[in-house]
């Protein structure tokens, strides 16, 4: 019995170690950014030039629990790792890490617990300088928290 439990215990220790090691400054949530939430039942109506990503909501402490000006939502995505990009970010936007919506979202509207589906802009060509992103994440552009959000054009 002890021989069977040893690999399980080792795997648990590795997972705990990875989660602690991963808690570096780049894993700290960035400043809040504004995003336009999309209802999973409306997933077929993504505006041209935008993508759907999954990020943590701003939650308590932002306005009345997450709502931003004009129906936009405060979200707290992770910042990009240091060295990923040299900052070809359009004025009024911020670049962050986000999880792309997966097949479960597109086929059935499934959203993982603790995340919200929002619209984001993909960064343009030349944005990355070759740095690595954590597995399962993509760079995404959101409106910065400074000032009211403008329309979707960007």
Q: What are the sequence ranges of the domains in the chain?
A: 29-143
pLDDT in tens, 24-52: 334 444 567 888 889 999 888 999 999 99
pLDDT in tens, 7-18: 443 444 333 343
Place of tokens 């707290």: 76
Share the mean pLDDT of the chain: 73
In the chain, at which residue ranges do the beta strands (DSSP E only) sit? 33-37, 51-55, 73-75, 78-79, 93-100, 116-120, 138-143
Residue 152 binned pLDDT confidence (cut-offs 50, 70, 90): very low
| pTM metric for this prediction | 0.68
């Amino acid at each position: 019995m002890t021989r069977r439990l040893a690999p399980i215990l080792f795997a648990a220790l590795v997972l705990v170690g990875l989660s602690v090691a991963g808690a570096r400054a780049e894993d700290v949530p960035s400043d809040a950014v504004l995003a336009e939430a999309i209802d999973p039942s409306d997933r077929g109506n993504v505006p041209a030039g935008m993508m759907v990503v999954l990020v943590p909501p701003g939650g308590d402490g932002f306005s009345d629990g997450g709502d931003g000006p004009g129906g936009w939502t405060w979200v707290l995505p992770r910042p990009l790792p240091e060295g990923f990009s040299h900052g070809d970010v359009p004025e009024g936007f911020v670049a962050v890490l986000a999880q792309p919506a997966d097949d479960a979202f597109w086929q059935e509207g499934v959203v993982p617990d603790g995340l919200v589906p929002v619209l984001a802009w993909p960064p343009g060509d030349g944005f990355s300088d070759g740095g690595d992103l954590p597995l399962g994440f993509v760079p995404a552009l959101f409106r910065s928290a400074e000032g009211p959000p403008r329309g979707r054009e960007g």
